[in-house]
Amino acid sequence: MVNPGSRSLRVICLAVLGCGGSSGDGGDTSDAEGSSGAATATSTGTTASDASDTTALATDGTSSGGSSPTTGEADSETGSPMPCTIDDALPAGDHERMLEHGGQMRRYIVHVPDGHDPTLSAPLLVNMHGLLSSPEQQIQWSEMNAAADPRGFVGVYPAGIANSWNAGSCCGDAQADGIDDVGFLRAMIEDVSTAVCIDPRRIYATGMSNGGHMSYRLACEAADLFAAVAPVAGAMRAADCAPSRPVPVFAFHGVQDLIVPYADDVASIDDWVELDGCEPMPVQEDFPGGNCRTWKPCDGGATVGLCTLDPMGHCWPGGAEALCFGFLGAYSDALDANAAMLDFFAEHSLP
């Protein structure tokens, strides 16, 4: 996340990262963070949502039909995936899909892992880009697919309007225009569930920077849908957070982050310790280059955690080092954030 009014950082982005290109989401993309071009249309078999204000379209702009799964919820006692039936389920690979929501065409990429059994439910991870970034860059930045594929996760990488998310008091055009991103992400998951068998009790969110802010907002406002969230280099930007249940939250942040201050995330975690009714004293695990603190027990079986990287700037721990440019601060692989958050998600599902 960067300050929407920070022209200097945008200039750096343009000069150093080669920003620009179309995001395909119907918004201005002149602020795109990272070297992205227009997304290419990959194999797609999109389906229509039942929502009255939401229509899924194929990449050629034509409506396509679909079916809802007969079931998909994992066995509540064993956690084993349950069988379900979807006509024309998406095969393994990356699939670009379009969705109309709030009068705008929205774009997202679905990643179905190799070896996915289309007749069994799978956990879903929504992975959101930072301000001025894109789904394609988030795939590269986080390197999540390589970590999540062996665990059977379906990955979804949505595109924010004008490369931004309305996380409350931040960020960019999405916040300025009051875009209903919580509603869009709900509709997106509904649409994905018509194309891939998803376990509704194992839906999770993560994101970088502005995408991390948005993860926090989903925990506040969509606790009925998301089992747990794991923001990276983000902070709470939603006012009056009142989740409908205790939500497991596990955050990652660098002490030397000059874009989203580390102190902001510490304050966010303090809020969640209170919101989730956790024991106030954390258990701390130290490792070379940082530590992880965990607060539990919490109400409803939730857990709150914060992994601190020191030194690290505004980067994804253990992610793509080549994309942790110098002006973002130090890179760190002292902790593999992907493995840590996936382990965390494995411990939590919707009640």
Query: d(Cα 261, Cα 324) in Å, to the nearest integer?
Result: 17
| Cα dist from 207 to 24, 31, 229, whole Å | 20, 18, 9
Q: Which two tokens stand for residue 295?
A: 């607060």
pLDDT value of residue 67? 44
Q: Which residues contact 41 (CB under 8 A, 6 or more apart)?
A: 59, 60, 96
Least confident range of 27-31, 105-109, 166-170: 27-31
CB-based contacts of 322: which residues, under 8 Å, 6+ apart? none
Per-residue confidence (pLDDT) for residue 302, from 0 to 100: 98
Pick the closest to residue 179 from 158, 150, 193, 195 (CA basis).
158
Instruction: State the pLDDT at residue 336.
Output: 98
- Segment 22-40 mean pLDDT: 34
Q: Token pair of 299, please?
A: 């109400």
Nearest C-alpha neighbor of 253 from the set 282, 292, 211? 292
How much is the pLDDT for 339? 98
Give me the pLDDT at residue 28, please: 34
Look-up of token digits 């992610």: 319
Contact status, residue 212 vs residue 126, Cβ threshold 8 Å: no
In one-letter notation, the amino acid at residue 18 is G
Find all residues with CB under 8 Å of 320, minimum gap 6, and list them. 140, 141, 142, 143
Q: What share of the chain is helix, strand, coil (3-state, %, to 5)?
A: 25, 20, 50
* Separation of CA 138 from chain center: 9
Sheet holding 228-232, edge to edge: 54-57, 93-101, 104-112, 154-158, 122-128, 198-208, 228-232, 249-254, 304-309, 290-295, 283-287
The CATH classification of domain 7-40+54-64+89-346, taken from the options 3.20.20.70, 3.40.50.720, 3.40.50.1820, 1.20.1580.10: 3.40.50.1820
Residues 111-138 have pLDDT tens digits of 999 999 999 999 999 999 999 999 999 9
pLDDT tens digits along 218-236 = 999 999 999 999 999 999 9
Residues 304, 296: contact at Cβ < 8 Å? yes
Mean pLDDT of the chain, nearest integer: 84
Task: Check whether 168 has a pLDDT greater than 90.
Answer: yes
Q: How many CB atoms lie within 10 A of CB 329?
A: 20
What pLDDT, in 10s, does the model give residues 178-228? 999 999 999 999 999 999 999 999 999 999 999 999 999 999 999 999 999
How high is the pLDDT of residue 160?
Answer: 98
Does pTM surpass 0.75? yes
Do residues 249 and 272 make contact, with C-beta atoms less than 8 angstroms apart?
yes
Going by C-alpha positions, the residue among 300, 233, 304, 308 that lies closest to residue 273 is 304
Instruction: Kindly give the residue spans of alpha helices, DSSP state H, lying in 16-164.
Output: 135-142, 144-148
Stretch 150-172: mean pLDDT, rounded? 98
**Backbone conformation region of residue 163, classed left if phi is above 0, alpha if psi is from -120 to 50, else beta:** left
* pLDDT recorded at residue 72: 60
Q: What residue ranges do the domains of the chain occupy?
A: 7-40+54-64+89-346
